[in-house]
A and B are shown apart, each in its own frame.
Chain A
Amino acid sequence: MLNVTRAELRKLRRPTLLISTILVVAALTALFTSIVFLRANSGQGNGQRGEIISPAVLSQATGLIYGFKIVSFFLGITALCVFASQTAQEYTLGTLRNLLVRQPSRMKILFGKYLSMIIFAIALVFLDAVVAIGVSYALAPHAKVTTTAWFTSTALSLLGRTFVNVLLTTLAFGTLGMILGLLFRSPISAIATGVIWSLILETILGGVVSSTQKWLPGQNFDNIAQGGSDTVSYKWSLGISAIYLIVGFGIVALLFKRRDVAN
């Protein structure tokens, strides 16, 4: 399986994919973190769904991680696109047959690929953390935010927890991307379905019928990064996300194992 992971990492580190992903993640993180800090004194809302995060709140230990976790949804969407495309392109390019001739165990291919994606996701989340913390620190004086509480053990433990939660969210979206990639066997169909569902349909559904938020996969994935919300608990989101992903992954793994590779 490690041979598969090594091979996959070679593909993931190609400049066109790596540089563009780094730029997108860094730009989004910098943008969202900047909004949180630059509009902290505006009183018009600088958080998710119009939430107001004042300089006083940002000066607490939690101030360190606002910028970091606010971009988790888009980080997840980025992972969804990368995971979906890396999986589905093996079918469209016809390269799956090469992989299977060199590694006939389809489960090793699948889990080796997944492991490489996890490594890629860890790198994305780490980049997100570094950029968010860097931008937060740089903009803190401008937003009249004091950073003394950011370097306490409480803040660092919060940072560690948030890192794990954002990583779980990123992996959840990425896994959804991989499931769609294996199901549709076409990067365009998989990405379009995943993005349209998570970005548009879930937002409309959750907005129109708020009780559905508890059941919508994308909303629950993101809720993990936020550490839970007033309406949906962290534990619920973790549990329901795990159920969705394990069932989905189980089905596509079975299909991947049994399906003829005829293209």
Chain B
Amino acid sequence: MTTAISVTDLTKVYGERSALSHATFEVPLGTVCGFVGPNGSGKTTTIRMLLGLIAPTGGTGTVLGQSILHPEKYLPQVGAMIEGPAFYPALSGAENLKVLASLGGFPQSRVSELLEKVGLADRGGSKYKTYSLGMKQRLGIAAALLPNPKLLVLDEPTNGLDPSGIQEVRNLIKDLANEGTSVFVSSHLLSELEMISESLVMLREGKVLFAGRTQDLLAAQIATLVVEPEFTVDLGKLVEIATRHGKEATVDAGSVHIVADATWGATFNRLAFNAGITLASLSATQPTLEETFFEMTGE
């Protein structure tokens, strides 16, 4: 078994509306895979099918080597937080985890360990309804970690967390991945995903736009050279030079943006020098995951 998740042509149709259409992707074992897409693109539907909560209309899939039609075979090794945390408001955080520990047959001692791990040790005895959004989120993550999972499925785990909370979740995911846990995480914080995801699945309107290594996706994007001349009067001349050499160039906020990768930087520097223009700065920028996402999804 080399994949944590593998789906082929996975489809879910509600009446005439297709929530997911022939999705095919793989999540390598022991890696962090980001799952991105605009709202309503089919992320949660996919996650629910992987967890046996909804039945697929078509296609096949495996989780930890077992068919998604038999979730009982793999769910004991899967931790999940779907669409935010959901607990019993009148029970304390610890009691809520004990309910799930009893249900899954896990030792009750895991509860205090996990409350400690997610930073809720001192509030474990407080009723869930008194928790802030961030605390609820932490409790959701603790619940997902109850089975000491081989695969962790997290849907928007950083919702409601402050910057330090987001950093803690990022570190937690990294630690889990280092320990060999596969993590499939959906998030709108693309900068976070860019930092931790080795692979990526991108959805739009129920269709897979990209599935593969994050590096490959970003490398395939067209880079931009940002050039700032010493004197702004030269901006037009720089655009003309770039255009003459077949490059697309625009002026934006006192600098020229040329669609070209970093290797053309030296050539352009020389051309500008030959034209008698001194450059104050020249840098190559690769599109971020966020920019790539917007570009690909048309959002």
Contact = CB atoms under 8 A, between A and B. Distances in A.
Interface string A87-101: 001000111011111
Given A10-B98, A261-B54, A103 B103 contact: yes
B174 to A, nearest CB: 24
B10 to A, nearest CB: 15
Given A7-B99, A260-B54, A101 B87 contact: no
B72 interface: yes
Interface residues of A, number: 26
A10 B95 CA distance: 8
Contact of B78 (A14, A98, A101): A101
Interface in B69-103: 71-72, 75, 78, 80, 82-83, 86-91, 95, 98-100, 102-103
B217 interface: no
B222 interface: no
A16 B55 CA distance: 37
The dominant DSSP class at the A interface is helix
A3 B103 contact: yes
A3 B72 contact: no
Nearest to B153: A101
Contacts of B147: 102
Interface in B51-66: 51-55
B99 A104 contact: no
Nearest to B89: A93
- Give the interface size bracket for B toward A: 20 to 34
A70 to B, nearest CB: 32
B48 A101 contact: no
A161 interface: no
A105 interface: yes
B208 to A, nearest CB: 21
A262 interface: yes
A235 interface: no
Given A14-B91, A94-B86, A98-B86, A261 B48 contact: yes
Interface string A250-263: 00000000101110
Contact of A97 (B53, B99, B103): B53
A172 interface: no
A3 to B, nearest CB: 5
Contacts of A102: 75, 100, 103-104, 146-147
A93 B90 CA distance: 11
B107 interface: no
Interface string B233-263: 0000000000000000000000000000000
Contact of B55 (A10, A103, A260): A260
Contacts of A95: 86-88
Contacts of A4: 103
Interface in A103-123: 103-105
Contacts of A103: 103-104
Given A100-B53, A101-B75, A262-B54, A11 B91 contact: yes
Residue from A4, A10, A95, A102 whose CB has the most chain B CB atoms within 10 Å: A102
B99 A262 contact: no
Contact of A16 (B52, B90, B99, B104): B90
A100 B51 CA distance: 9
A10 B99 contact: yes
B185 interface: no
B40 interface: no
Contacts of A94: 83, 86
B143 interface: yes
Given A10-B95, A95-B87, A3 B54 contact: no
Residue from A14, A89, A98 whose CB has the most chain B CB atoms within 10 Å: A98
B105 interface: yes
A7 B103 contact: yes
A261 B82 CA distance: 12
Interface in B15-45: none
Interface in A229-263: 258, 260-262
B55 to A, nearest CB: 6
A11 B88 contact: yes
Contact of A260 (B53, B71, B82, B86): B53
B104 A104 contact: no
B105 A3 contact: yes
B242 to A, nearest CB: 52
Given A93-B89, A261-B53, A262-B54, A101 B80 contact: yes
Contact of B102 (A3, A16, A97): A3
A91 B160 CA distance: 23
B104 A97 contact: no
Interface of B: 48, 51-55, 71-72, 75, 78, 80, 82-83, 86-91, 95, 98-100, 102-105, 143, 146-147
6 contacts: A4-B103, A89-B88, A101-B52, A101-B53, A102-B103, A105-B72
Given A93-B86, A95-B88, A101-B78, 19 more contacts: A3-B102, A4-B103, A7-B102, A10-B99, A11-B91, A16-B90, A97-B48, A97-B51, A98-B86, A100-B53, A101-B80, A101-B82, A102-B75, A102-B100, A102-B103, A102-B147, A104-B52, A260-B54, A261-B53
